Structure 1
Amino acid sequence: MWFVRFLLRLLLGLILFVLLLVSISLIPVDETPYQQMPYYAQTKQRLTQLPAPPAAKTPLRAGWAKANITPPYTTPTGGYGERRGRHWRIVSDSIWARAIVFDNGSTRAVLIGLDLLITPPTVVEQLKKRLPELGLRWENVYSGTIHSHNSVGGWAPGVVGQLIAGDYDERIVTRITEGILTAIRNAQANMAPAQVGYGETDASDHIYNRIGFSGPTGPLDGAVRLIKLQKQDGTSALICSFAGHATLFEGDNGDYLSRDYPGSLVDRLERKTATFALFLGGPMGSTGPQARGKTDFQEIRNYAGDLALRIERIAPTIQPRPDSTLAILTLPLSLREPHPRVLGDCRIRPWFFHNLYGDYPSDLKALRIGSTVLLGTPCDFSGELAVELQPAARQRGLNLMITSFNGGYIGYVTPDRYYNRITYETRDMNWFGPYNGDYFKEMMTGLLAKIEAYQPKSVQAVSN
């Protein structure tokens, strides 16, 4: 009988412990409209106070370079899912840091493209300390990635970081940082006058909406967007963005270190279309690739090959022209308290989330090159929201490229109307609560208005 009483007491103690744990770690979701929240007022004020970019002094100059950041040792694979930090064993293709440096005599901006899952916040922290060595600050930098789920991991500490990218290794953070600095340094060394042009082609048939099974959805941004830079010596660079998730390598195929389809695409573009190419993952939130092929390698080859064919048809029609327009803006974002949901509409408390993941600053970035504006987001940004933002750019006579993974990472940002759908994108990976879709759209539209108002002197006036 004493044993039964012991078990009952033990069970009661466990129940009380669980109830105590729940009471101190869970609270209800806060559904206060974002316009009524302090974080909205803070970011709105920062947007209003952003300084106007200085007027151009010279026509646009540009330089580009890349640095191999493939580790000489195996590392965890950065890519969620079944990989769970499992080490890759075979280098299918090398991993690079790419940089394009722009200058118009008064503004210097750097575009970074990384062959990684995201731009690691730990790398951003190192860059903020090291960029002054090159006469730059983080505010000069616009960053993006290819979002390969079979690339180098090990760059994120904490429990969530381990699930995303495996065991943390400071050597990897340093190696990525050094590669970025090397690419920037070499790009600065080959700067020369460059003309700029824009083009795009449709590839909507290559993507699908991953949350479509949960109910009706809107159209996705299926355009391949291109910026072409041309120097007087005939060398050229092509900046390419597209919204298809780089997940053609299946989750159980983690033996390979690979850039997935963006790597295959960039390699072909550099063989046939441009001297240098840089790929940026576009608005990839909930956007999956339509795979065609019997193996992962066939799918990558077919996917990249078809995108390349479409780019090769449009690229010759892009006519680069002289320009001096260059501006870059950084808008630090305040956010709602962390809201990862568990047990219905209950969320874990902020202190618990920060202990699991960390507390990283997040920015919106805007980079204007000629008549094209790149807007960079610290998340998997929804392709549906990107479609909704395009009219605001067209009304201003601007081309708009929206990219993800700019140096912070706050999970997925999807349309607010999907907040209560039970999907990976809208529940598991929504870390900062309701109304972020409209909040991001408002701030990104505000950045567009700010950067549109920048009217540099004409190239002729600058030249004279």
Structure 2
Amino acid sequence: MTLLIRVLLLIAYGLFFLSTGTSALVAATLTAGVARIDITPPLEMQCPLGGYGERMNKPAEGIHDRIWAKAIVLTDGTQKFAIITADLLGFPFPFKEELVREVKSHGWESNQMMLLASHSHASIEMNAFHPGNTFGISQIGIYNPQVHQFTLANFKKLLLAADRQLQEAPVKVRIGTSRIQLEGWNNNRRKQGFTDNDLTLTRIDTATGKPMAVLVNFTAHPTFMSSRQMWFSAGWPGHLQRTLETLIGDEVTVMYYNGAEGDQSPRSRPHSGESRWEKAERYGVELAAVSHELWMATGTESNVEFRQHTVEFDLPPANWHPDFMQTGGKEYGLSTSLLQQMIPKLFAERSHCTTVQIGQLSITGIPGEMAAGMGAEIKRVAGEKLSVESPTIGGLADAWISYILTEEAWETGGYEASVSFYGPQLGPVVKQAALESFPLTGP
């Protein structure tokens, strides 16, 4: 075959993919920038802890361990994408839009980033930085403009710092992902149904082999601490990240993101002691040890597929579950008249799902707390459609809209259903959007 014929065939091949409107699988060497920022509010800011209405908006009394946000920005030279993880309960739905407005002049758009909260129940109260929270109800948290501006400013600094590193000192990276089944560490708290045992780890090294970043995905609520613990803490995910950073060394940045944890609880490790702080620490430290073994066994490669796709969708009309007044309503001190006023201000009408693929890893962002069985089905289809070995769910991505359940689970009721605010169709609607968010792979 002559050189001219080869060139003509390559051109025809490229034109075929352009004409079909699909993207060919083209592996590329990525460059990356990484940053982190301490987002622990000063105690004098009187920031409430989120996760339990029983705390009655009381401010944190101390700092057990500091809470962090971390970012990695990846680019193949034609597109870039930021993964941002944070030791937070969740993000109120206006927050990402606010962040995008802050960084738009620096070339950033909404579909170029994914915010992933760990769901720590000893971190910043989500409604403390929700500008629509004008109700002054202690059980749901009271809006604090100082906390709002502090948090927004820190996320802007974080993203721009990672982006600046990418621009000023770009580092070529090698990436690899591994997944194992880790049984006995979590369970389905509804006492039935599916438990997600996947531990998925993504290793990101420089081209010379120096550890740069690690992404860890494991599905369980960070709920060892109760409403009585009044110090800031990242919970067991914080211990996981710090310990794994120590084990690996080289100033590596470890970033944890949760999965479809709507019905998943952690199981205490043996001999953890009676203290809730001890239970959280032992869980995170031992999970870090397992993760370190997986990290050492994970190979990396320089040329990987890299793409993302976002689907926006309308949410069903927001309303409360018939069981809500006996569960969440009682915990949060709400009445029917208050709910009628609050829902239009606190709950979104539209949302989105984004899937990003990085080599053999895919992360499908879900804007809330999805039941693990639904998440497993999305992961299964992602593995087939994207031909990836390690599909994951990024739980609580970009916004907390509520718990996300199957129609059957919503109708059955219980705590998770009572804190699902868009009726029985929410689960099917979000699942469909998640499946449609997979990047196109070919004709």
TM-score range, shorter chain: 0.7 to 0.9
Q: One-letter code of the match for 1:197? A: G
TM-score (norm 2): 0.83
Equivalent residue for 2:103?
Answer: 131
Give, in whole Å, the separation in 2 of the partners of 1:438 and 1:59.
Answer: 37
2:404–2:427: 8 Å Cα contact kept in structure 1?
Answer: yes
Equivalent residue for 2:266?
Answer: 289
Query: Which residue, 439, 446, 461 being the options, matches 2:436?
Result: 446
How far 1:372 moved relative to its partner?
A: 1.5
Matched, 1:363 2:337: no
1:152-171 matches, within 5 Å, as 152-153=124-125, 154-156=128-130, 157-158=132-133, 162=137, 166-171=141-146
1:93–1:257: 8 Å Cα contact kept in structure 2?
Answer: yes
Matched, 1:176 2:134: no
Q: One-letter code of the match for 1:375? A: T
Give, in whole Å, the separation in 2 of the partners of 1:239 and 1:164.
Answer: 34
SS of the residue aligned with 2:78? Answer: coil
Give, in whole Å, the separation in 2 of the partners of 1:203 and 1:430.
Answer: 29
Matched, 1:267 2:258: no
Unmatched 5+ residue regions in structure 1? 1-50, 456-464
SS of the residue aligned with 2:411? Answer: coil
Give, in whole Å, the separation in 2 of the partners of 1:158 and 1:310.
Answer: 41
How far 1:443 moved relative to its partner?
A: 2.5
Query: Which residue, 172, 186, 200 being the options, matches 1:225?
Result: 200
Q: Write the deviation string for residues 133-185 of structure 1: whole angstroms up to 9, x where unpaired.
A: 32211111111011101101221242789567521112212212221222222
Alpha-carbon spacing, 1:416–1:325, altered in 2? closer, same or farther (3 Å): same
1:200-239 matches, within 5 Å, as 200-212=179-191, 217-233=192-208, 234-239=210-215
Q: Write the deviation string for residues 321-358 of structure 1: whole angstroms up to 9, x where unpaired.
A: 0124222222112111113123799x979964534624
1:56–1:105: 8 Å Cα contact kept in structure 2?
Answer: no
- Name whichever of 124-133 and 375-384 sits farther off: 124-133
TM-score (norm 1): 0.79
Matched, 1:381 2:370: yes
Unmatched 5+ residue regions in structure 2? 1-20, 326-334
1:102–1:110: 8 Å Cα contact kept in structure 2?
Answer: yes
Q: One-letter code of the match for 1:243? A: T
Equivalent residue for 2:222?
Answer: 246
SS of the residue aligned with 1:238? Answer: strand
Q: One-letter code of the match for 2:93? A: P
Equivalent residue for 2:283?
Answer: 303
SS of the residue aligned with 2:408? Answer: helix
1:110-129 matches, within 5 Å, as 110-129=82-101
SS of the residue aligned with 1:298? Answer: helix
Equivalent residue for 2:422?
Answer: 432
Query: Which residue, 410, 413, 421 being the options, matches 1:422?
Result: 413
Alpha-carbon spacing, 1:238–1:165, altered in 2? closer, same or farther (3 Å): farther
Rg larger for:
1
Matched, 1:70 2:40: yes
How far 1:187 moved relative to its partner?
A: 1.5
Give, in whole Å, the separation in 1 of the partners of 2:83 and 2:139.
Answer: 25
Query: Which residue, 152, 159, 176 being the options, matches 1:197?
Result: 176
User: Alignment identity in percent?
Assistant: 20
RMSD: 2.6
Give, in whole Å, the separation in 2 of the partners of 1:160 and 1:242.
Answer: 35
Q: One-letter code of the match for 2:224? A: L
Matched, 1:97 2:69: yes
Matched, 1:312 2:292: yes
How far 1:291 moved relative to its partner?
A: 2.3
